[in-house]
Amino acid sequence: MRIGVPREIKNHEYRVGLTPGSVREIVAHGHQIIVEKGAGQAIGLSDELYRAAGAELADSATEVFAQAELIVKVKEPQAEECRLLRPDQAVFTYLHLAPDRRQTELLMASGVTAIAYETVSDAGGRLPLLAPMSEVAGRMSIQVGAACLEKPKGGSGVLLGGVPGVAPGKVVILGAGVVGANAAMIAVGMGAEVTVINRSLDRLRWLDEHFGNRIKTLLATGEAIETSLLDADLIIGAALIPGATTPHLLRREQLRQLRPGSVLVDVAIDQGGCFESSRPTTHAEPTYIVDDVVHYCVANMPGAVPRTSTFALNNATLPFVLAIADKGWRQALLDDRHLRDGLNIHQGKVTCPAVAAAHGFAAVDPEKVLKMKG
């Protein structure tokens, strides 16, 4: 198979779909890799490293898209990239289609087979290709939130860990999945007072066993959320419904009840956001203020630490890329129901029920459409 790796063009996005080490493994399986020049330059992965690993180098993204049977990326295809995709091609990347009708329609129009990292599953019902970036984003959420609490950045001037004789800051984490657990770990390590709210008692029990009395856990009821948020300095939005638009856990009219200078970090902004007042921001302009509350809603948070993120992502995606390359994308999807969970769009049809529901499309059975060649 001929696999293409274009340079990412989303605002301040420096990650790359394949590392030279991944390229070497794929080439050893007899496949060809074409990488756009400079794709990994920003994180120390030079063109020379890719060439030494066995990749060909292309002068432009247009050349990569034109030659490849499979496109491997990190972030969702931008509009100009969607227009380079074609029906006999597959793209494997993060898509986050539920809150993004425009991208959904562009991918449908292209006829491409679009496989989303964030909905690929495993035998335990987890999301193995979302997990590494959720780990990064969860840990980052506390450090960026702590920075946003600084007075020059619009925050209340609270130091999360406090100092002797002064109480620490209060952190509330909405969601106890991978993002929430990693956020809790960093917040506890910084000495903050931490509350985690989640709708699963089993998950809360796990957190209690793991953290003991270093955190407080609450079942996610409306009263628990509202009461906890009123007293919080930093609120982390870490709720997730796989593939679907994230429900709003803080309504716009509730915002003015929060402490002035408190901070919202919406890690779920890729899927629409946990807070009604959230809107996507970029690393160039990461925050805005509404009702004296600082909002950090960067849609590609792990892109701020692109070297760590790239290697973490490749650790998870490489086995799937190899399966797709070795078998062809159609057979790989038919053989592996967990990879097939990642199929969101195929030949103009939406195959992910959550995405279809978000946009009012009819969802089609992925296995059925894959067996209908042509």
Which residues are known catalytic residues? 96, 270
Burial (CB < 10 A; 0-12, 13-18, 19+), residue 86, is exposed
Backbone angles phi, psi at 183, to 5 degrees: -65, -45
262 contacts: CB under 8 Å, gap ≥ 6: 155, 156, 232, 233, 234, 235, 293, 294
113-116 and 343-346 as β-strands: parallel, antiparallel, unpaired? antiparallel
- Looking at the DSSP assignment, which residues form a beta bridge with residue 2? 32
- CA–CA distance, 91 with 235 (Å, rounded to integer): 35
3-state secondary structure the chain: CEEEECCCCCCCCCCCCCCHHHHHHHHHCCCEEEEECCCCHHHCCCHHHHHHHCCEEECCHHHHHHHCCEEECCCCCCHHHHCCCCCCCEEEECCCCCCCHHHHHHHHHHCCEEEEHHHCCCCCCCCCCCHHHHHHHHHHHHHHHHHHCCHHHCCCCCCCCCECCECCCEEEEECCCHHHHHHHHHHHHCCCEEEEEECCHHHHHHHHHHHHHHEEEEECCHHHHHHHHHCCCEEEECCCCCCCCCCCCECHHHHHHCCCCCEEEEHHHHHCCCECCCCCECCCCCEEEECCEEEECECCHHHHCHHHHHHHHHHHHHHHHHHHHHHCHHHHHHHCHHHHCCEEEECCEECCHHHHHHHCCCCCCHHHHHCCCC
